[in-house]
Amino acid sequence: MLSKLVKYDIKSLIRVFIPVWIVAPVIAVMLSATIHLLSVADGPLMNVFSEYIGPILLGILAVLFVAVIVGMMIMTLILVIRRFWNGLLKEEGYLAFTLPVEVWQLIVSKVIVAAIVNLISGLIAALSCLILFLGISKEIFYSMGYTFSVIWRSMTGELGAYTGVLIVLGILFLIVTSICGIYMLYASMSLGQLMEGHRVAGSFLAYIGLNMAVSTITNIGTMIVTNILPDNLVNITAGNAGLIITLYMLIMLVINGIQVAVYHVITEYVLTNKLNLE
């Protein structure tokens, strides 16, 4: 049933996002082409373009590009919040909670879809920026490729056998961090429902409170671990950058995983026992 919930949610969200996901790279291509034409303008017609039409078109496309990229990020955040707020905490929640599914499935489906939409929006934004850079100068790509090769050689030389492990851990860390951020929003909105008549303000305060609590607990935990860390482990990791980074990534994954579990428990508890739909 969870797969059906995910499929339904993602279909409804993608219908909204597809136009933006298409428009962003299209505008990037047009802006890139305009920049390229202005840089190679030659001949009477091209001179007219470079002097009159080109600069105006360039300004319009540049404003549109920034507006679309920023708008896509804001739109992603707003719809991620709105789908949870309206779908489970408002009147639509009556329909959702009548479905033959567990509360945890309703929550997890929202999180999965939100994470997928975040990922796609991020990739579209990155692709659009790469297209734009191509129009500005091909040298940027050559520089990026050279820089990447230098960094890669440095990583493989410094990290050795840990390189592949760290790449996998890095990808997992990005995914888990994204899910953790979404869960924090959902837990905050759920806690905000406990403040009758001030649910939006309650959600905002809960979000600030959760951030402060996580920061405080993380700092305290870091100090405790640092003080109790065995001396022999310090000696083993000394000078071994690959092992140090691997241990750090694993610790961060565990911390984020614990946060996800706590946020889920909070959200499910409120939705199961304390929710008063408007």
- Express each pLDDT in 39-63 by its tens digit: 665 555 555 556 666 677 778 888 8
CA distance 251 to 232: 18
Give 185's pLDDT tier (boundaries 50, 70, 90). very high
Residues 107-130: tens digit of each pLDDT: 898 899 888 888 899 899 988 888
pTM of this prediction exceeds 0.95: no
Token pair 């579209």 in the structure block, residue: 124
CA distance 212 to 3: 34
Would the pLDDT of 186 be above 90? yes
Provide the mean pLDDT of the chain: 78
Those residues with Cβ within 8 angstroms of residue 128's Cβ, 6 or more apart along the chain or in another chain: 24, 25, 27, 28, 65, 68, 69
**Domain ranges within the chain, ordered by starting residue:** 1-136, 151-278
Give 237's pLDDT tier (boundaries 50, 70, 90). very low
Give 249's pLDDT tier (boundaries 50, 70, 90). confident
CA distance 219 to 214: 8
- In percent, the amount of the chain with pLDDT more than 70 equals 74
